[in-house]
Amino acid sequence: MHVPDGFIDAPTSAAAGVVAAGAIAVSLRGARRELDERTAPLAGLVAAFIFAVQMLNFPVAAGTSGHLLGGALAAILVGPFTGVLCVSVVLLMQGVLFADGGLTALGVNITTMAIVTVVVAYALFRGLVKVLPRTRRSVTVASFVAALVSVPAAALAFTLMYAVGGTTDVSIGKVATAMVGVHLLIGIGEAVITSLTVGAVVAVRPDLVYGARGLTRKLKLRVNGELVDAPGTGPAPAAARTSPRAVWAAGLVASLVLAGFVSFYASANPDGLEKVAADHGIDRKTEDHDAAGSPLADYGVEDVDDARLSGGLAGVIGVGVTVAAGSTVFWAVRRRRCDGASPADTRNVPAPSRTTGV
């Protein structure tokens, strides 16, 4: 759903940019409360994973494809404020390096693909986990529903912005029907990817999933000043003791494989927005991307003739740049949190329990 330059007029794009900038500023402050020594490294990886999976367009209807937006996945794994930053980093890398999504439309893309998806998905996810049984399966189910709804919500947000500042005279009713309809189908793919990914992390390290924290905890007793498992609860399963570094390494390898190899087999059909734009004339005033001359434009490496190799190298470079940029941002946010904490705050923060689970 990357909006190119020319779909939305300058005043509306500027207003969306202000909204996006404000949301990012708020998210930078909010992320300080979400990021800790476990989630800060994971956040950079989440951004890279979203970048990789967004390269995997999947068919959803005749002549139409879709791809992950990632807002629901990021919010559930690392928190809503951090999730907005994750998706924003991805969109920035895509726009600047790969000429995907217009630069003047960056605010529009962040608003629809980062802010709307995160807010809708996380609000729905939290509501569902409060009423569902407190089990790992409930986390997966809530992830599925939240991701499914977030995609047509983003499509509706784009339609509203187009109604305000669209550059072509098109029936908004037809645009809304087409956008929400096709993105509801894309939402099914989003929901499958999100729930499988969240379920996999929950199975290995539930304490690393931000949205699953505090749902259920092992009963603890204080014995001689130390907390121990209550009789009958048993030790934490071996999977729960998997090293965060192992989880990070596995996620990075998966991202590299998806972007560097599997992406070659992605659907070549236009995505939902491209298809609707072509069918209804929204794209009549599309402008050339300012970064069209980038050596990585269109997810290929300049002067590499082999399509498979060119796309694979571009994907690997994209994952590397995104994980580096994301990790730098989140390390800096985490450092600000540590520097801003008073000694009393530090003493009063309990050490994380490795037996916390869902």
Residue 224 CB coordination number (10 Å): 5
Instruction: Give the separation between CA 135 and CA 236, rounded to whole angstroms.
Output: 15
pLDDT of residue 347: 41
DSSP secondary structure letters along 85-154:
HHHHHHHHHHHHHS--S-STTHHHHIIIIIIIHHHHHHHHHHHHHHHS-SSHHHHHHHHHHHHHHHHHHH
Measured between alpha carbons, how far is 277 from 165 in angstroms, rounded to an integer?
Answer: 15
Of the candidates 63, 101, 80, 45, which has an alpha carbon nearest to the alpha carbon of residue 251? Answer: 45
**Gap between the Cα atoms of 12 and 117, Å rounded:** 20
DSSP 226: E
CB-based contact 39:247 (threshold 8 Å): no
Of 90, 105, 93, 77, nearest to 8 (Cα)? 105
Beta strand 64-66 with 58-61 is antiparallel
Backbone dihedral region for residue 35 (phi beyond 0: left; psi -120 to 50: alpha; all else: beta) = beta
Query: Can you give the pLDDT at residue 263?
Result: 96
CB atoms within 10 A of CB 62: 7
pLDDT tens per residue across all 358 residues of the chain: 899 999 999 999 999 999 999 999 999 999 999 998 777 889 999 999 999 999 999 999 889 999 999 999 999 999 999 999 999 999 999 999 999 999 999 999 999 999 999 999 999 999 999 999 988 899 999 999 999 999 999 999 999 999 999 999 999 999 999 999 999 999 999 999 999 999 999 988 888 899 988 765 554 556 666 655 555 444 444 444 678 788 899 999 999 999 999 999 999 999 999 999 999 999 999 999 988 999 999 999 999 999 999 999 999 999 999 999 999 999 999 887 666 554 444 444 444 444 334 4
Distance CA 70, CA 139 (A): 17
Would you state the pLDDT for residue 235? 41
CB-based burial, 323-332: b 16+ in 10 Å, e otherwise:
bebbbebbee
What's this model's pTM, rounded to 2 decimal places?
0.88
> How many Cα atoms occupy the beta-carbon half-sphere of 137 within 13 Å?
2
Q: How far apart are the first and last CA of the chain?
A: 34
Give residue 182's Cα distance to chain centre: 20
pLDDT score at 232: 44
What is the Cβ-side half-sphere exposure of residue 154, based on CA atoms within 13 angstroms? 35
Q: What is the pLDDT of residue 205?
A: 87
Beta strands, E only, 138-250: 220-223, 226-229
- What burial class does residue 285 get, using C-beta atoms within 10 Å of its C-beta: 0-12 exposed, 13-18 middle, 19+ buried? middle
Distance CA 8, CA 42 (A): 34
| Rounded CA separation 23/108 (Å) | 12
Burial 347-356 (b: 16+ CB within 10 A, else e): eeeeeeeebb
What's residue 229's pLDDT?
Answer: 54
Domains and CATH numbers, the chain: 10-348 (1.10.1760.20)
Q: What are phi and psi of 222, to 5 degrees?
A: -95, 115
Q: Write down the pLDDT at residue 168.
A: 93
Judging by beta carbons within 10 Å of its beta carbon (0-12, 13-18, 19+), is residue 211 exposed, middle or buried?
A: buried
